[in-house]
Amino acid sequence: MPPRLSEQTLGHAQPGTARPGYVRAACRVGWVHFGPGAFHRAHQACYADRLLERDPRWAISAVALHGAAVRAALAPQDYLYCLAELGPGAPMRVIGALREILLAPRQPQDVFARLESPDTRLITLTVTEKGYCLEAGGQLDVAHPDVQHDLADPDHPRSVIGFLAEGLRRRHARGQPPCAVISCDNLAENGPTLRAAVSAFAARRSGELARWIEREVAFPCTMVDSITPATDESVRERVAQAIGLTDAWPVQRESFTQWVIEDLPQVRVADWASVGVQLTNDVGVYERAKLRLLNAAHSTLAYVGLLRGHATVAEAMRDAPLARLVEQLMREDIAPSLAGGAVIDIGAYIEAALGRFRNPSVRHQLEQIAWDGSKKLPVRLLPTLTEALAAGRPLERLAVPAAAWIRCIVARAHGGGTLTDPAAEALLALGAACDGNPGADVARFLRLEAVFPPALASAPAFARALAAAYRALGASGSLSEFERA
């Protein structure tokens, strides 16, 4: 086995391996990130890596809110890891932007020390939709067990909202300047949504703190994009062979990557343009295109593809009826809800997205995309459905992803399978109660207010479309009826 990747062994990496273009010891932490999973390490940390070549202020202190696996893998490597881009001739690149990974449950005071440090100017998050402790309407769920715990014991939070509110309180109390807090998760209006959640939490403790957060702390909207398949043993083997060193947890992603941030004064602390980050006054156009086109299409491929026996996005795209359905869904049903104007060419965006889906080098597991459907569908699909219903546009294809999601849950429930979702227990119970009657099965799920907004769930036209799609798909994901749509 090749030697383990580390500061000591990095100089022995195979020729052609891209290495940090700066002296890591000369860099200081100016960036705190919650959620050091694969996407962060393949995306934001890569931008930080480029920034550090020009400016030593942007080393990252990452905070793991739950598991310790990433730190266990990377600490022996001095937090170095390899990024493998997916495509012909794509390079292997060792990323050095991570300085440390703190385990929030064990080291809350170390986390707060970073949050209140005068060097810290950026706080970013990739904690997935479920990490924000929100109600279906997007407001903070004050009844959430983690929120209740954090209000009672703010010095030992469990939620990212609790950490941010207390960290900002300490920063304010010590007279530190406010910083930018940037959500990099797939939430509609993610900046204002995060601000509202943190402010609502803070208001439960101090009205003055809540007002300071609202007035002084920047929560810019942002949009991030790069398909990042999960790491498996084949990736580790490929990386070891390519760089001549063993990496316990490399990451992989497609070559395409995009980061768009709302142009606010507090954001301009870094030279973003030099590393390809786009600053704009209208992130919403990019955000809606990604959520409604790319992410909704991904969810469609995941749930319908799983029903049809596929394992990856590229494999699902080789299924001609499914590929046609997805393209029609994007071009004919979702695109009318978007207005790119001079900012985005929607037709070109769809063409590029379809090409990314077909990339044979990207083994993006449908099972991974299918995780947390109860949190993803309300932001990826249901706003488009709601607008189409109000505008009198067809719902038949738009209902397919939601119907396929229900079918997947029913199949897991009756087959004794597991479900990766924060509402897994309740969803599997609903699935177990289903008997194949489309109207009755769909009605059970439409009562889930945390997923389906009451106004949409109570609309007869939507209920009919969802039941029709559920019936047409069947247990095997048949698309014969939609071929004629």
Say if 303 falls within a structural domain.
Answer: yes
Contact indicator for 184, 44 with CB cutoff of 8 Å: yes
Contact indicator for 479, 304 with CB cutoff of 8 Å: yes
Beta strands per DSSP E along 161-273 = 180-183, 222-225, 251-254, 258-262
For residue 101, the cross-strand partners are 62
Q: Structure tokens of 265? A: 């004064």
Query: Do 272 and 293 reside in the same domain of the chain?
Result: no
pLDDT computed for residue 484 by the predictor: 62
pLDDT computed for residue 339 by the predictor: 73
pLDDT computed for residue 342 by the predictor: 61
Query: Do 224 and 353 reside in the same domain of the chain?
Result: no
Query: Do 208 and 307 reside in the same domain of the chain?
Result: no
User: Tokens 């599997």 appear where?
Assistant: 428
Share of the chain above pLDDT 70, in %: 99
- CATH of residue 440's domain is 1.10.1040.10
- CATH of residue 210's domain is 3.40.50.720
Residues of the chain predicted below pLDDT 50: none
Query: Do 180 and 252 reside in the same domain of the chain?
Result: yes
Q: Structure tokens of 403? A: 């119907």
Q: Please provide residue 123's backbone torsions phi and psi, each rounded to the nearest 5 degrees.
A: -125, 125
Q: Give tens-digit pLDDT for 364-375.
A: 999 999 999 999
Q: Position 470: which residue type? A: Y
CA–CA gap between residue 106 and residue 120 (Å, rounded): 21
The CB-side HSE value for 401 (13 A sphere, CA atoms) comes to 30
Contact indicator for 222, 258 with CB cutoff of 8 Å: no
Query: Do 195 and 46 reside in the same domain of the chain?
Result: yes
Q: Please provide residue 211's backbone torsions phi and psi, each rounded to the nearest 5 degrees.
A: -65, -40
Q: Please provide residue 72's backbone torsions phi and psi, each rounded to the nearest 5 degrees.
A: -60, -35
- Domain span at residue 230? 10-280
Tell me the CA distances in angstroms from 237 to 79, 360, 438, one per residue in order.
19, 19, 46
Say if 3 falls within a structural domain.
Answer: no
Residue 134 DSSP symbol: B
For the whole model, what pTM was predicted?
0.84
Q: Given 255, 280, 305, which residue is the final one in a domain?
A: 280
Contact indicator for 269, 170 with CB cutoff of 8 Å: no
